[in-house]
Chains A and B, each alone.
Chain A
Amino acid sequence: MSEIPCCSGESRKQSDHESQPRYWRRGGWLLVALPLWFLVYHFLEPFAQWITASIFKLDLKSHLGASVTFFFFDTPKVLMLLTLVVLVVTYLQTFVSPERTRAILAKRAGAWGNLLASLLGIITPFCSCSAVPLFIGFVKMGVPLGVTFSYLVSAPTVNEVALLMLFGMFGWKIALLYAITGVTISFFAGLVIGKLGMESSLEPWVLEITYNPESVEEAKQSFSDRLDVAVQGVRDIVGKVWPYMLAGIAAGALIHGYIPESLLVKVMGKGVWWNVPLAVLIGLPLYSNAAGMLPIVQALIGKGAALGTVLAFMMAVISLSPPETIILRKVLRPRLIGVFVGVVTIGILVVGFLFNAIL
């Protein structure tokens, strides 16, 4: 009996994998997948219109027809963009680790440190459950508190996936605007916190930790190793954010089809000063992944909402999240948490007003 080869699903998968040619496993599949991606992406809009008109028998100009087309166009579009973007970003991120970032930022006091931290926050991978170990590791190795905060604000606010998706959906101007906005907020938030000298507002245990960092020996990674990490990243991230995205697209579709432009301009247009604080107020307690926000942003801007208001709303939703704030409470005293939330909120408000005034 024991000679019978085991045939569980696991081992079959393994042998399938082994039977693929070597060049295919090493990334050769990209040569097929990428052109196919662009081909399909190109035909999404006519396909969505065809579904709406021929299968659902709806008038494309009706409210329902517009909503349905938006949904069938945006769902595959955003999913495909997300997949490609996450693949590229995760691949690039295998080159930047938090250790490297910390080495760059250590002992760098002053505004340069804040700027550098804000810029590095764009590309470095960041998961809110890493916030605490990262925070302690930075502060303990001599990264100034203000510089650490610039990084802590920038990392979730200027999300590298959202940045590239904005580029894909709206072009480089809006993407650049988003990056500059996020970096500016992070820069000033860290600068203010650094100037206030709030080192005493850390929880005492943070200062008492004996810090014995071990050297981490990361194995050398080849192209296909990094690609494997990237494919895993696509599985993880796309697998995690798709419910947020579908919800976002559905909300976007409703806005697109049913909310009249005149009403939206009256409430969210440029001329209305109070819509920025209102957008921030509504956005702060909400938490969504950046990818889920984009379809809503797209629908709002398409209907004539002011860019400053929409950006302020998006930043408020993705930058300050209740889960992250609760996690940070473990290392920060309430006073510092208050300053952190306050400074970021003010930054978002200023940016909203500024964009509405100058654009």
Chain B
Amino acid sequence: MLIEVFGPGCMKCQTMEKHAKEAVEKSGGDHQVVKISDYAAMASRGILSTPALALDGQIKFQGRVASSDEILALIKG
């Protein structure tokens, strides 16, 4: 699965990225975490508040830091 973390690089966004990586590690699966900090890319996807997280192209969290357990639950679906 492709996990995209959106954020310009503030503290919250870094925490979100860390949580996503932790979730991937816990899941044991082969998932890819990508950090997107380009404003144009974020804006064209319709993201209003950062940090945001998308799973396989679908935005799941926006404007708050999700815990690694929450992200793990998403990955497991």
Q: List residues of chain A with CB under 8 Å of any chain B CB.
A: 97-99, 102, 125, 127, 129-130, 132-134, 136-138, 140, 205-206, 209-214, 216-218, 229, 232, 236, 240, 327, 330-331
Contacts and interface: CB of A to CB of B under 8 A. Distances in A.
Given A98-B49, A99-B48, A133-B49, A211 B62 contact: no
A212 B46 CA distance: 6
A198 to B, nearest CB: 19
B39 A214 contact: no
Contacts of B64: 229, 232
B48 A140 contact: no
A129 B40 contact: no
Nearest to A209: B44
A137 B12 contact: no
Contacts of A205: 40
B8 A129 contact: yes
B48 A137 contact: yes
A136 B43 contact: yes
Contact of B43 (A125, A127, A211, A229): A211
B14 to A, nearest CB: 11
Contacts of B45: 212-214
13 contacts: A98-B49, A125-B49, A127-B10, A129-B7, A129-B9, A129-B10, A130-B63, A133-B43, A133-B50, A136-B43, A209-B43, A212-B44, A216-B60
Given A102-B48, A129-B13, 19 more contacts: A97-B62, A99-B48, A127-B49, A129-B7, A129-B8, A130-B49, A132-B8, A132-B39, A133-B42, A133-B47, A134-B48, A137-B47, A138-B48, A210-B44, A211-B43, A211-B46, A214-B46, A214-B58, A330-B39
B59 interface: yes
A359 to B, nearest CB: 37
Please list the 9 inter-chain residue pairs (A to B) with the smallest Cβ-Cβ separation, ordered nearest first.
A213-B46, A129-B10, A136-B43, A98-B48, A130-B49, A137-B48, A216-B59, A133-B42, A98-B49
Nearest to B49: A130
A213 B46 CA distance: 4
Q: Is the interface of A mostly helix, strand, loop or mixed?
A: helix
Contacts of B49: 97-98, 125, 127, 130, 133-134
A215 to B, nearest CB: 8
Contact of A127 (B12, B46, B54, B67): B12
- Residue of A133, A136, A213, A330 contacting most chain B CB atoms (<10 Å): A133
